[in-house]
Structure 1
Amino acid sequence: TQNTAAALAHFHGKHVFIHGCDPKADSTRLILGGKPQETVMDTLRIHGAEKVTLDKVMKKGFGDIRCVESGGPEPGVGCAGRGVITAIDLMEENEAYTEDLDFIFFDVLGDVVCGGFAMPIRDGKAQEVYIVASGE
């Protein structure tokens, strides 16, 4: 995801947003120069929904790519898929997905175990869906 997003931004001048949907919160690390970022779910858990603002959870990285990480629930508590749904809903409320974006990537972990991870597809949030798989 990160390499594709970087190529689209750098070589084609596209406006790109990566929404990391893996509880490990590593979907945007390369774009952000190796720096981890505060996740939506951590911000929600620590500060409450009113403190989940774009300034707090969205960072810009290489090629001006906008990056958000959903994060996940506390280990052993809750469903990571539910965290994805909550994070996407909060990003919509904060108007993160703007009209100027050419591509929005929802980077979902490969071993999907529940329907929450398919939420961007299921709820009609995409005009087109591309599934990319690798042998990693």
Structure 2
Amino acid sequence: TRLILNSKAQDTVLHLAAKEGSVEDLEVEDVLKVGYKGIKCVESGGPEPGVGCAGRGVITSINFLEENGAYDDVD
């Protein structure tokens, strides 16, 4: 993601959700960044290693993106 965005790591969906209070308080524009050649990037995030399930962060992020139309204009 850093190479595609030509920048430092972006904030994760889970980090921003924790900061804002919940995933429902986020907007797609908060988490989705467009990089090189129009590639859309999102970082899911997850718990600290050894604490919880990393898959949960991925599921939460994908559900958020689907519910908010992030995939509507892609093939």
Deviations 1:50-107 (A, max 9, x none): 2221111000111111111101124443210111111111111111111x313xxxxx
TM-score by length of 2: 0.84
In the alignment, is residue 36 of structure 1 matched against residue 9 of structure 2?
A: yes
TM-score by length of 1: 0.50
The structural deviation recorded for 1:29 is 1.4
Structure 1 or 2, whichever has the larger Rg, is 1
Residue identity over aligned pairs, in percent, reads: 57
Inter-partner Cα distance in structure 2 for 1:43 and 1:62: 23
Please, which runs of 5 or more residues in structure 2 have no aligned partner? none
**Structure with the higher fraction of residues in strand conformation:** 1
Following superposition, which runs of at least 4 residues in structure 1 exceed 4 angstroms of deviation?
Answer: none
Q: How many residues align?
A: 74
**Structure with the higher fraction of residues in helix conformation:** 2
Give the aligned CA root-mean-square deviation in angstroms: 1.5
Residues 14, 23 of structure 2: 8 Å contact kept: no
